[in-house]
Amino acid sequence: MASLGRLRAALPGPCSLPAPLRRLASGWGSAAALLRSGAFMDGRWVEVAAAFPVCDPGSGTELARVADCGAAEARAAVRAAHRAWPSWSAAPAKERSALLRKWYHLMIENKDDLAKIITAENGKPLKEAHGEILYSASFLEWFAEEARRVYGDIIPPAAKDRRILVLKQPVGVAAIITPWNFPSAMITRKVGAALAAGCTVVVKPAEDTPLSALALAELANQAGIPAGVFNVVPCSRQQTPAVGEALCTDPLVAKISFTGSTATGKLLLHYAADTVKRVSMELGGHAPFIVFDSANVDQAVAGALASKYRNSGQTCVCTNRFLVQKGIHDTFVEKFAKAIEKELHVGNGFDERTTQGPLINEKAVEKVERHISDAVAQGASIVTGGKRHSLGKNFFEPTLLSNVTTNMLCTQEETFGPVAPVIKFDTEAEAVAIANSANVGLAGYFYSQDPGQIWRVAEQLEVGMVGVNEGLLSAVECPFGGVKQSGLGREGSKYGIDEYLEVKYVCFGGL
Ligand code: ADP
């Protein structure tokens, strides 16, 4: 059992260790060192005068106080990353690969504790948190492999006395800004690619979930990632605009990679414009889930449950609108409602039975309530759920709405919560038109057993990722990203590393 004294020693900075976190960490032994509260810069834990609270979204209880960095710390971290860049980018790919792999192994060794940190600060069920840690670690493993496969090209020249080469080189320092819904995986999906390419990074994690980012820093340090290569500057919501601006306008930063809301993404794009930084943006979605008459309805219901209610509906690839053809509509709605009532259990993420943790904060619950009341006021029916759960605070009942029309808010904006609105449609063309009416396009799903229809609809959906008879599609090997206002660039897969590489053409003349 780790003593309080030992845990305190593991938590530099202005942090005290409140009882909930102390309970969480009891029995962790040396893994208690994963609970950090300082900023991590230039290979060191740095104390900052101010601190901000990190709270359990289920109870509101304070878990820890974490260093509240400001613009000065952000700029210092950028300078550290910039100093580290020449030697990191010049290191043989094999060395960078080995360090990423070591970091991956440390994540796997500590996977249970890392999962507990996610559940504590994000609220998602422990089983989902375990899944996230494996997914998160898989990016370090994948990019450890990709690091060694960054090939250039030799191009046949038009002139006899020339030879043409193409080199791929790291872009430089990357500023990485991540959300709270996947507190670990959204970091490694970017950082794995960046470090593999030879870039150095400064990460600003979401204010709701900095502990997972700091645990990653601790493991990066243990893995021997050199000082300045991976830096983390946590900050409160109040400091976020200043820190964001400092990171995204600093001339030493060459690249911004962001995952979060479309509104924040647009602001960061403005920042990037001034110094023409490279950008990757993974922004909001509004995923349609179409069930055609030919679908296997049980498969569609299973896919719908997974795609809608994972992480309590708080992922950017979660279904936001169900479009169900009129012939299968009533059966689908009836079976979907039964499945929700039987299989989903709202509760604390640490309870084994829980499939639905709390929403991240009050603002998120209010948005869900607003979408439901708007839909009901315009004629939608609540089939199941529809209100806050008796557990209180940020817990919400998984909700199914029928008689939904396209003029309701829930079919126009991302809900980011456990609400499934069902729109009835008549023809394939009508469904595709409704699906494509959004100004964003991240994921889209449809269920059909008709091969012709599968090809047509997969090609016509204006999204970056399509699930055909599948409700979950994220995997390290696959390119993740969107079209329209869902963003720019792709993460993971063989394409993800290109986001951190420049193409340089070298012309050898006079031969
Ligand atoms: P959400 O509303 O779901 O929290 P955001 O886009 O606001 O979505 O948050 C995603 C990430 O963007 C978080 O790390 C957050 O702190 C950060 N963020 C929010 N506003 C800004 C800003 N003005 N500059 C830089 N980062 C920001």
pLDDT band for 432, please (50, 70, 90 cuts). Answer: very high
The pLDDT tens digits of the residues spanning 137-156 come to 999 999 999 999 999 999 99
Q: Is 256 in the pocket of ligand 1 (CB under 6 A)?
A: no
pLDDT band for 13, please (50, 70, 90 cuts). Answer: very low
Question: What's the pLDDT score for residue 500?
Answer: 98
Residue 264 C-alpha to ligand 1 middle, in angstroms? 6
Region 415-432: mean pLDDT is 98
Q: Integer distance in angstroms from the first to the last C-alpha of the chain?
A: 71
Question: What's the pLDDT score for residue 33?
Answer: 87
Show the tokens assigned to 201: 């990074």
Residue 24 pLDDT > 80, yes or no? no
The pLDDT tens digits of the residues spanning 474-484 come to 999 999 999 99
- For the chain, give the mean pLDDT: 95
Residue 363 C-alpha to ligand 1 middle, in angstroms? 14
Q: Is 177 in the pocket of ligand 1 (CB under 6 A)?
A: yes
Question: What's the pLDDT score for residue 18?
Answer: 60
Question: What's the pLDDT score for residue 2?
Answer: 33
Closest listed residue to residue 348, CA positions, set 18, 3, 17, 23:
23
Residues 6+ apart with CB under 8 A from 195: 88, 96, 99, 100, 143, 147, 201, 225, 229, 230
Q: What is the sign, positive or negative, of the torsion defined by CA atoms of 184, 189, 190, 192?
A: positive
Residue 281 C-alpha to ligand 1 middle, in angstroms? 12
Region 428-446: mean pLDDT is 98
Residue identifier of the C-alpha nearest atom 16 of ligand 1: 206
The pLDDT tens digits of the residues spanning 227-275 come to 999 999 999 999 999 999 999 999 999 999 999 999 999 999 999 999 9
Question: What's the pLDDT score for residue 15?
Answer: 44
The pLDDT tens digits of the residues spanning 88-102 come to 999 999 999 999 999
Residue 316: active-site member:
yes
The pLDDT tens digits of the residues spanning 306-341 come to 999 999 999 999 999 999 999 999 999 999 999 999
From 73, 121, 282, 499, the catalytic residue: 282
Question: What's the pLDDT score for residue 1?
Answer: 27
pLDDT band for 366, please (50, 70, 90 cuts). Answer: very high
